[in-house]
Chain A
Amino acid sequence: MRIISIMNRVLKELFRDKRTLALMFLAPVLILLLLSFIFNSNSTTDVDIATVSMPSNISANLDNTKHVSVTKYNTKEAAKRALKDDKVDAIIQQKGSNYNLTYANTDSTKTTVVKMAFKNAMTNTTIETLKSKLTVASTALAKVQSQMPNASSSMAQKKQTTVKPKITNHYVYGDSNTGFFDKILPILMGFFVFFFVFLISGMALLKERTSGTLDRLLATPVKRYEIVFGYMASYGILAVIQTIIIVMVTVWLLGIQVVGNIFYVILINLVLALVALAFGILISTFANSEFQMMQFIPILVIPQIFFSGIIPLDSMAGWVKDISYIIPIKYSGDAATRVIMQGGGLSSLGSDFGVLFIFLIILTILNVVGLKRYRKV
């Protein structure tokens, strides 16, 4: 009863504060839209491709493609150095009848351009070779057919194996799924939820403390956990609404495909919101003013984004990876990525949920116990 009453009160206060409400619901939408424009607009990117021991006809075809220029390198090492120095965006190397493609992939649009260009060049070259081979073959065929009627089928088979080279893709950064915006979206979603719930709930509890309403509340027989749970219930509801808005924007406005169940995405963000809430309440006890609360944002919230997986952690030093294990956004990001990009089911999210719940339980206990500072029982 008290929990529901506290929840109602917090929600009422929130929904009457139009500015805060707009911040929670519209700001993420605005930022997402902006990001999608930024990441999806540069379609006329120019790319440089390094070629190593490539047949000249393919190289020529590549070079003829719009926005693509080709530089020939004699060794793979020289080409790799160029890739590292950002002089070229990709390396194409012929190995026997196969091709090795290495992409810098720091900009996924460039990777796509290279892939398309190479595919086209290959097709064009194949068509050209086919044409010339066909004329050779058909004359040969006519000659052979008169002598050996069974040869034609084996000849055709041989032709097929020669025109199907194997293409291997390597990525210096990320992988084939890396569309940067697609990649950061699940993480960003979590970040928005975390950021706003942390900030607003922290501020709300700070206000409750500095205005004296917390003291007054604690001067009634209310139990400490009832206060914490009341806050959790209200901000849980808020986070669900926020997540639904963000998901709707991403799916319908930005046209991003959610492979898995959207419900899981909402569930993940709900749990994350509760972690953010508990964290915000805890941190607010260390702040004496709203400005001091703001000071925690660059220290405790913004850095989380670096460890969240937006920048692949594989390429980072060991201790950086270790830090990432205590970053809640990493777990929500991992889980949401699995649902949105790979269609992961609930069972595949178990460990991420588990860790988030551990965060949640520890922080909640700390909060309930921490309220003892204001009332000893």
Chain B
Amino acid sequence: MADSIISLKHLVKKFGNQTVLKDINFDVHTSEIVGLIGPSGAGKSTVIKTALGMEVADGGSAKVFNTTMPNRELLANIGYMAQTDALYDDLSGRENLKFFAVMKGLSRKETINEIEHVSKVVDLTDDLDKRVSGYSGGMMRRLSLAIALLGKPKLLILDEPTVGIDPALRRQIWKELQHIRNEVRGILITTHVMDEAELTDKVALLLDGKVMAFDKPDVLKMQYDVDSIENVFLKAEGVL
């Protein structure tokens, strides 16, 4: 079995008296794409933020690279893409990339190569010197993804990365994600696009603050005796 890079055990997270995460258990290994799916408001983003150390768990443990989070230095090995685009509108795409490259601690030379590489992956090479304020929603999403990819992090955590991206580019991005996985890196991705869940290696179904199911898409479909992840989801919710 490959190394575990994210390990969540009995994770509990409360906001005030609302218990958003009751008991979260799952692992992400290297060479693995794990999809976290669940309805809006299920707590997907909260799982991610706790794993990153932006929120502190109220119970259980969140370990990344076998180190209990929060841990600042570890963040250098994590590429994070938030659900909101979080870009500096007055700067150009290139300036955004450059800024975050420095924040991630890349060297000057690495920065230039990396910017060229990641902007090719998200198909933004021609628009790099435009101001972000002039970008379309999809372009912003792509730039945001490009920032997460900077520096070839060992772990990618992507919160709904393909929202607002057209199908052709979405396919291209998934291809890149699979390529990243094959480089012995790991990816945790949240999505509510069910056919994307089919492309992952493992799916974690988040409902009621718990991971209701966690396995390969094919295994889940068999378990629930349905033909798509969408139906797995609906059956788990009790709609089907």
Binding site for B on A (CB under 8 A): 1-2, 5, 9, 12-13, 16-17, 211-213, 215-223, 374-377
In chain B, positions 49-66 with a C-beta closer than 8 Å to chain A are: 52-56
Tell me whether B126 is interfacial, beta carbon within 8 Å: no
Say whether B85 contacts A223, CB under 8 Å.
no
Q: Which residues in B have some Cβ–Cβ distance to A below 8 Å?
A: 52-56, 70-76, 78, 80, 82, 84-91, 95, 99-100, 102-105, 147
Q: Is the interface of A mostly helix, strand, loop or mixed?
A: loop
- Chain A contacts for B54, CB-based, 8 A: 215, 218-219, 374-376
Chain B residues within 8 Å of A375, by CB: 53-54, 70, 72
**Chain B residue at smallest Cβ distance from A219:** B80
Please indicate the chain B residues that have their CB under 8 angstroms from the CB of A13 in the complex: 88, 90-91
B103 touches A2 (CB 8 A): yes
Q: Are B86 and A213 in contact (CB under 8 A)?
A: yes
With a CB–CB cut-off of 8 A, which chain B residues contact A1? 102
- Chain B residues, Cβ within 8 Å of A222: 103
Check A377–B82 contact: CB distance below 8 A. no
Cross-chain contact of A12 among B71, B73, B74, B90 (Cβ < 8 A) = B90
Q: Which residues of B contact A2 (CB under 8 A)?
A: 102-103
Distance between Cα atoms of A211 and B82 in the complex (Å): 11
Measured in the bound complex, the distance between the Cα atoms of B146 and A216 in whole Å is: 13
Q: Is the CB of A9 within 8 A of B85?
A: no
Other A-B pairs, 13, CB within 8 Å; known A13-B90, A211-B87, A376-B56: A9-B95, A12-B91, A13-B88, A216-B147, A219-B54, A219-B82, A220-B104, A221-B76, A222-B103, A223-B72, A374-B54, A375-B53, A377-B72
Cβ contact within 8 Å between A215 and B82: yes
- Interface centre among A216, A217, A220, A223, by most chain B C-beta atoms within 10 angstroms, is A220
Residues on B with beta carbons closer than 8 Å to the beta carbon of A213: 86-88
- Closest residue of chain B to A13 (Cβ to Cβ) is B90
**Set A5, A223, A377: member contacting B53, Cβ < 8 A:** A377
User: Given the interface contacts A375-B54, A376-B54, does A212 sit within 8 Å of B90 by beta carbon?
Assistant: no
